[in-house]
Amino acid sequence: MNTASTTSEVPIASSWLPPELIGVATIAVLGAAGFFLFPEDLAFLTRLIGIAFLVLSLDLVTGYCGIATLGQAALFGIGAYAAGNACIAGVTEPFLLLGVGAAGGALTGLLSGALITRFRGLPQLVISIAFGQLVAALSNKLSSITGGSDGLSGIVPAPVLRTFSFDMYGRTAFVFSAVVLAVVFALLLRFVRSPFGLLCRGIKDDDLRAQMIGAAVYPRLVVMYGVAGAVAGVGGALTAITTGVVGLDSVGFERSAEAMVMLVLGGAGNLWGAVVGAVLFQVFEHIVSATNPFHWMTLVGLLLILIVIFAPRGISYGATVAWSKLFPREPAR
Amino acid sequence: MRTIFSIVVDAVAYGMVLFTISIGLSIMMGLMRVVNLAHGAFAMIGGYLASYAIRSMGASYVVAILVAVVGTILISAPLEFLLYRRIYRKSDALTQLLLTIGITFFIIGMANFVFGPTLKSIPLPAALSGPLDIGFRMLPTHRVFVIACGGVIAVALWYLLERTEFGVRLRAAVDNSDMAESLGIRTELIYSATFALAVGLGAFGGVIGAELLPIEPFYALRYMVVFLVVVSVGGAGSILGALSASLLLGLADTTGKYLAPEFGEFFFYLAVILIVFLFPNGLFGRAH
């Protein structure tokens, strides 16, 4: 049993199957369920998957490295704009577009990470906000690239693998997104268990000690930011491909704040938490905001307050703890 | 020349509004180390109360300000008692962010439920709505009023913190709350009083600044970042820092909006990044 990083380890990985396989299988099952049970809501589910990438990306920097940021949507939005522009310029192959989005997000991540991770605490938070707002202001201004407040439209990607074209029911879009999510999720599960990922956890728990054992803290955080940027960029590119438009809301502050809420709802420092949080929050939003957007804000506010008081480490953590108490796998330590 | 003059007047007035609202947040963050994202929400409550007092109850401007400040303190007191006490000092930034964002969302939803989703104006009295002749130029009286209010608050707070018994106790609690407590200072009471002071200042700023930052349901979210930025640029807990940061950022924002309106808040946040990069503890802040 891994005892080195007990603060954020969730007892879910202690099983006979590799966690990557469990991840892919779970997403496949849930995806199939969504596909067959809610054929009317595929567009919503596709958008949900796109945002899940943003929350995963935030989890990498906040949950695994302890960096508080409220500007993560900048990475997502730049990925979306990059893919959108590439598509309009003639690069219509979907997987290539994902690559473009990932590259755009990774570059932005490295750049903003180099700035943000130099600080700690409040200065860090404010710089992250300022960076996000800077990107948002620029996207509004550079309307030749971003379409300004009208948004970037006319994104028509080629059929996936030259066979499955994007239909108006959003079936291809949904399956494509779900597959990409499963692959990226499995890669990330592997990544956070790598020596690099474990060291990032060490930095989060005690960066001074990490420095003392010879870890180069700053470069690692910047690289982690780059990886997070790539993940967010893929999410942005997916959203651009599947919806055909990119709006200013993809880079806005609200998007960043919502991602943070989703992450903490699910549980930071755990990739499962990121996905669970993204799904729960958006389904909840989808249902409640249909009635009145302001009731929605009241409810989310109340929910957040209750979580901070009763389940400060997220519901997925609380759920796994409850589960392992109900069904103990090994004698109590 | 005329443009420069009006930029400066607008910038100083805007800066003073920022100062009036942010100084409460700054004191709270300096003392309780709470990143209170809901501070803008309290300013918004003040604005709503004042608007309601004037437009529906026919109160005068002065009475409306009193209603706003006292009402906001009363509304926020249970929140302090039930929620904020948990996150003073010890808890981590993420918990504080979430709790206070949650409170912000909740207040936005409730404000909209009670007052409706439209923009709420706060009618100015005749004495404040016209132009003021200062000899060689005409100035909008309201701007002068706002600037004067900011100046008075700065001096009054300085006096309160540096020259009174309360200020001594408060500074002791900031520097070392455990020691202050062992010396018989009731830090919990000091905290509550400071919270009320911070909220009251926020509400006051929300009312007098309503011409520049109009009162609407998303007020709390829209300007929350700005207030946080002012505190961080100035350095938490420093009056001089908050004042200079407010004026500096007011100038950056107003100049940017006059000369290159299509860039929006670009220059504002560029200035923020530069300043925070150069002074991570704020212009006049202390390292903690």
pLDDT band at A59 (very low <50, low <70, confident <90, very high): very high
Tell me how far apart the alpha carbons of residues A170 and A168 are, in angstroms, rounded to a whole number: 5
Contact criterion met (CB < 8 Å) for A133 and B225: yes
Instruction: Please determine, for residue A12, whether its predicted confidence score (pLDDT) is greater than 60.
Output: no
| Cβ-proximal residues to A87 (8 Å cutoff; 6+ apart), any chain | A97, A155, A156, A157, A240, A241
Q: ipTM of the predicted structure?
A: 0.83
Distance from C-alpha of A322 to C-alpha of A175, rounded to nearest angstrom: 33
Q: Do B93 and A131 touch (CB under 8 A)?
A: no
Residues A239-255, mean pLDDT to the nearest whole number: 85
What tokens does B245 get?
Answer: 């940061």
Backbone torsions φ then ψ of A15, nearest 5 degrees: -145, 175
Q: How far is Cα A239 from Cα B181, in angstroms, rounded to an integer?
A: 55
Instruction: Find out whether A13 and A19 touch, Cβ atoms under 8 Å.
Output: yes
Chain A residues within 8 A of B86 when measuring between CB atoms: 309
Q: Name the pLDDT band for A330 (thresholds 50, 70, 90).
A: low
Which residue in chain A has the smallest CA separation from B35?
A122
Task: Give chain B's residues under pLDDT 70.
Answer: 90-91, 135, 264, 285-288
Residues of A in contact with B93 (CB under 8 A): 68, 121-122, 125
Query: What is the C-alpha R_g of chain A?
Result: 19
Whole-angstrom Cα distance, residue A303 to residue A61? Answer: 24
How far apart are alpha carbons B89 and B166 in whole angstroms?
Answer: 20
For residue A279, is it left (φ>0), alpha (ψ between -120 and 50) or beta?
alpha
Residues A261, B112: C-beta atoms closer than 8 Å: no
pLDDT for the residue A166: 73
- Give the separation between CA A159 and CA B9, rounded to whole angstroms: 58
Lowest mean pLDDT among A64-73, A92-101, B85-94: B85-94
pLDDT at A1 over 60: no
Give me the mean pLDDT over the A19-40 stretch. 82
Size of interface A-B (CB pairs under 8 A): 130
Mutation for B interface: A261, A294, A302, A306, most B CBs within 10 A: A294
Work out the average pLDDT over A137-147: 81
- The chain B residue lying nearest A149, using CA atoms, is B262
Which chain A positions have a beta carbon within 8 Å of B280's beta carbon? 119, 123
Query: Which pair of tokens denotes residue A5?
Result: 């990083």
**pLDDT over 50 (residue A4):** no
Q: Which residue of B98, B223, B253, B263 to mutate against A (max A Cβ within 10 Å)?
A: B98
Q: Residue A7: its pLDDT value, please?
A: 44
What are the CA-CA distances from residue B193 to residues A240, B27, B182 (Å)?
A: 50, 11, 19
Tell me the per-residue pLDDT of B96-117, one tens digit each, with 9 for 90 and over: 888 888 899 899 989 888 888 8
Rounded Cα distance, A259 and A50, in Å? 11
- CB burial readout A212-246, b (16+ within 10 A) else e: eeebebeebbbbbbbbbbbbbbbbbbbbbbbbbbb
pLDDT tens per residue, range A184-200: 998 998 898 888 888 88
Residue A303 forms contact with B (CB below 8 Å):
yes
The pair of structure tokens assigned to A15 is 């099983």
pLDDT score at B20 = 93
Nearest CA in chain B to A299: B106
Q: Which residue has the tokens 């404000």?
A: B111
Helix (H, G, I), strand (E, B) or coil at A165: coil
Chain B residues within 8 Å of chain A (Cβ atoms): 29, 35, 83, 86, 93-95, 97-99, 101-110, 112-113, 117, 217, 221, 225, 228-229, 232-233, 236, 262-266, 268-270, 272-273, 276-277, 280-281
Report, as an integer, the average pLDDT of A56-77: 90
Inter-chain CB proximity A137 and B106 less than 8 Å: no
pLDDT of residue A316: 67
> Do the bridges between strand B131-133 and strand B138-140 make them parallel or antiparallel, or are there none, so unpaired?
antiparallel
Which of the two residues, A285 and A17, has the higher pLDDT score?
A285
Nearest to A235 by CA among A278, A268, A288: A278
Is A133 part of the contact surface with chain B (CB cutoff 8 Å)? Answer: yes
What is the rounded CA–CA span in Å between residue A60 and residue A58? 5
CA nearest to B102 within chain A: A301
For A81, the token pair is 């704009």
Model confidence at A3, pLDDT cuts 50, 70, 90, reads very low
User: How many Å apart are CA B188 and CA A125, to the nearest integer?
Assistant: 28
Averaged pLDDT of chain A: 82
Confidence at A9, pLDDT banded by 50, 70, 90: very low
Would you say B120 and B215 are in contact if contact means Cβ atoms under 8 Å apart? yes
B36-86: per-residue pLDDT in tens? 889 999 999 999 999 999 988 888 899 999 999 999 999 999 998 888 888
User: Which pLDDT value is given to residue B285?
Assistant: 65
What are A29's two structure tokens? 């099952």
* pLDDT of A161 above 90: no
- The confidence score (pLDDT) of residue A333 equals 45
B-interface mutation test, from A8, A61, A111, A122, most B Cβ less than 10 A away: A122
- H-type alpha helices, chain B: 2-32, 39-57, 61-79, 85-87, 93-115, 126-129, 141-163, 165-175, 177-182, 187-208, 219-234, 239-259, 266-278
Backbone angles phi, psi at B56, to 5 degrees: -100, -25
User: Is residue B155 classed as helix, strand or coil in its secondary structure?
Assistant: helix
The alpha carbon of residue A279 is apart from the nearest alpha carbon of chain B, in Å, by: 19
